[in-house]
Amino acid sequence: MTVAAGGARRRTGARVLPIVGVFLLAVVAAVVAVAGAFVHMWASPAGLVLAVGGAAGVAVLARACARTRAGGGVVAVAWLAPTLVLAQHSPGDDLVITGEPVGLVFLFGGSVSHAVALGLGAGRNSPRAVT
């Protein structure tokens, strides 16, 4: 146990748990981004709904787990980085996320869901303390 500045005792695990949670969510966000990049073109509306819904789900989980907006930002960058890499042409001239409307909706929908979660922050109704 550690003693905080106000004299209150605080367990070390209370500080480590959110950091581990954000790290694990960043890994999950990267997996969801890669899966969404391949699923969004699958079945016309269903694949796109699954891909954007997965990105929104990761954003909501990051908002619930992270105690700061920086934690949510780490998860958002972990989703955005592989998505932008898969939107670029590869040496074999393959393209996973195309410039068609379906690909753009996937990019825009996932980015907006993470931006909204970041904008909301931890919130007043959250059981976690806002820092």
**Per-residue pLDDT tens over the stretch 18-59:** 788 889 999 999 999 999 999 988 877 899 999 999 999 999
Cα pseudo-dihedral 111, 114, 120, 125, rounded to 10: 150
Q: Please tell me the predicted confidence (pLDDT) of residue 91.
A: 84
Q: What residue has token string 């954000």?
A: 22
Q: Are the beta carbons of 47 and 40 closer than 8 angstroms?
A: yes
| Res 62 pLDDT > 80 | yes
pLDDT tens digits for range 64-117:
887 788 888 999 999 999 999 999 988 888 888 888 899 999 999 999 999 998
- Amino acid residing at 72: G
Single pTM value for the model? 0.79
Q: What residue has token string 């393209």?
A: 95
Q: Are the beta carbons of 27 and 84 closer than 8 angstroms?
A: no
Q: Is 127 helix (H, G, I), strand (E, B) or coil?
A: coil
